[in-house]
Structure 1
Amino acid sequence: MPLTGQLKEGFWEGSSPSRQRFASMLSKLIDSMPVEGEERKAARLEVHPSTLSCYRHARRMPLPHQIRKLYSDVIRHTPTGVVPVKLEDLLELRDIAAATRVATLAPVSAVPDEPAAEDPSTAVLPGKRKDGDRRSDRHSGESTPAGKTADVMVAHQAAGRRQDVLNLISATVSTAAPRQVAETIRELCRRQQPGLAEALLANGRKRSHADVMRLALALMAAGLTDYAETAMRASLMTDTA
């Protein structure tokens, strides 16, 4: 199992042990890239150098398709064809780290380009509209129940109200249909909140197999194939546990 190994120092203080193990393993793969220097590595990965630094320090995690792209790039330019980590181990450890995200939510210092926070008491769970709200879902996400839920979730996290975030995630998972959960995940991604999106996804690890498949299909329909894969992989891990 890829859970063994000693943790290094220098990780983000809000990261979990599993997230740190993932970052350590990912760093080994990054170090094997066929270019030198963090800026050149970041350019090859098509991310900002600060994002690459976040990967190394367990503050952020790349999506599965980014990991596969990195792995393919390394193995293609390695004469022996041998890389320091296994792709399957890296993806599995990412799933484990994402599943523990709920327990390690930390407040953010700033939320870029976000609308003003509304009163948390006015939050609308996905699938439930307020009386008199007849605006079309074709407009911006802020006008939909999923968009409103995402706004309140982001506002709670920005204010450091961790328990309110967890309560809203739990309420969303327990009351919303899989399609509506997928819409909320999409809205969180639109707001550049992948940590909250993953927390919402991981909170439903006890979903039935049928609900997991419905959620995966809804996520794929929303263009979130990486999240769909994560949902299915997590379900398989639970079934075999």
Structure 2
Amino acid sequence: MAALGHVRETYWEGCGADRRKYVKRFRGLVRAIPTRKQEARARHLNVPVSTLSNYWSGRRVPRAKALSAMYQALCRSLAKDEMPVSLCELEQLRSSAAKVSRDVKAASNVSSRMPLAGPETPALLSVPGSGAVPAPRPAADLRNVPSGIVGQTLEALNQAQAAGNRRGVLGISWSASKAMTTEELCATVSALDEGGSVDLAEAVLLGGRERSQADSMRLALALIAAGQTSYAELVMRSALPPELL
């Protein structure tokens, strides 16, 4: 978000032509709200500001139900002829934009926005079934809480991100992805997504991109059942050979 409450007009680097076309119209809808502050716009649409920011940049495309809810929220305060785009048109554009594959290198986006950890980076963290990886601090040791691996992983990831420890983020994501069950991975991704931490959710999923195609399909199906279809697409596409993408 830019200074003085304004928002950047740039698009997420992974946006293709279809997604940009949708985002342009979606931004027109958001601009119909009589304020230029994204926080106020988010409140008007009943979504977290981090979620709106992801929609605004094109990093994420809302599900049809979420888009309809935002549209209806705006309809309650604007006359029909004041709406800059119809829901039908927006949904058609959204449908095309949602088909655009997520970048399987999305985990690297975490790295690009966070500096390398310095010499003060704490030692190592181990999780069940994996080797040692960097962690934000020794207290976040998943070995001691096998029944609470989801909560501990969330805490460790958030601490690493807050500390600017990209090695910690990527290492914890890789290690936790190897140690977690399908259900635990779904719970972790859902919690991160709800909190607006899309980068971390993608990092957790892509941390296990070496998983077998059968395991990837099981995880994708579980994500679909949990309503996380965009993340299911990410898992499936990351499992495909490059020549099929």
* Residue 31 to residue 182, structure 1, CA distance change in 2 (3 Å): closer
**Which position in structure 2 is the counterpart of 1:103?**
108
Could you tell me how far 1:172 is from its partner in structure 2?
2.1
Query: Is 1:27 aligned to residue 27 of structure 2?
Result: no
Cα deviation code 1:48-99 (max 9, x no counterpart): 67754553345x63543466538997xx9868x6569733431133x424x3
Could you tell me how far 1:196 is from its partner in structure 2?
0.6
Query: Is 1:92 aligned to residue 88 of structure 2?
Result: no
Q: Secondary structure at the match of 1:18?
A: coil
State the alpha-carbon separation in 2 of the partners of residues 123 and 201 from structure 1: 18
Unaligned 5+ segments in structure 2 are 1-6, 73-79, 116-121, 131-140
Cα deviation code 1:113-168 (max 9, x no counterpart): xxxxxx7745645999645x58xx5xxxxxx1121112111111111111221111
C-alpha contact 1:29 1:83 (8 A) present in aligned 2: yes
Could you tell me how far 1:44 is from its partner in structure 2?
6.8
Could you tell me how far 1:177 is from its partner in structure 2?
3.3
- What amino acid does structure 2 have at the position aligned with 1:102? A
State the alpha-carbon separation in 2 of the partners of residues 178 and 30 from structure 1: 34
**Which position in structure 2 is the counterpart of 1:61?**
60
Q: Secondary structure at the match of 1:225?
A: coil
C-alpha contact 1:101 1:199 (8 A) present in aligned 2: yes
Of the structure 1 ranges 22-31 and 34-43, higher mean CA displacement relative to structure 2 is found in: 34-43
User: Could you tell me the TM-score, scaled by structure 2's length?
Assistant: 0.58
Query: How many pairs were matched up?
Result: 205
C-alpha contact 2:220 2:235 (8 A) present in aligned 1: no
**Which position in structure 2 is the counterpart of 1:231?**
232
Cα deviation code 1:163-194 (max 9, x no counterpart): 22111112222343323322332443465523
- What amino acid does structure 2 have at the position aligned with 1:87? R
Match of 2:182 among 164, 167, 178: 178
**Which position in structure 2 is the counterpart of 1:111?**
none
State the alpha-carbon separation in 2 of the partners of residues 50 and 187 from structure 1: 14
C-alpha contact 1:30 1:41 (8 A) present in aligned 2: no
- What amino acid does structure 2 have at the position aligned with 1:207? R
Could you tell me how far 1:20 is from its partner in structure 2?
8.4
Query: Is 1:155 aligned to residue 159 of structure 2?
Result: yes
* Residue 211 to residue 67, structure 1, CA distance change in 2 (3 Å): same
* Residue 67 to residue 191, structure 1, CA distance change in 2 (3 Å): closer
- What amino acid does structure 1 have at the position aligned with 2:94? L
Q: Secondary structure at the match of 2:60?
A: coil
- C-alpha RMSD of matched pairs (Å): 4.6
C-alpha contact 1:27 1:56 (8 A) present in aligned 2: yes
Could you tell me how far 1:200 is from its partner in structure 2?
1.5
User: Could you tell me the TM-score, scaled by structure 1's length?
Assistant: 0.59
- What amino acid does structure 2 have at the position aligned with 1:86? L
Could you tell me how far 1:17 is from its partner in structure 2?
1.6
* Residue 191 to residue 26, structure 1, CA distance change in 2 (3 Å): same
- What amino acid does structure 2 have at the position aligned with 1:170? W
Unaligned 5+ segments in structure 1 are 1-8, 109-118, 138-143
- What amino acid does structure 1 have at the position aligned with 2:227? T
Q: Secondary structure at the match of 1:96?
A: coil
Q: Secondary structure at the match of 1:160?
A: coil
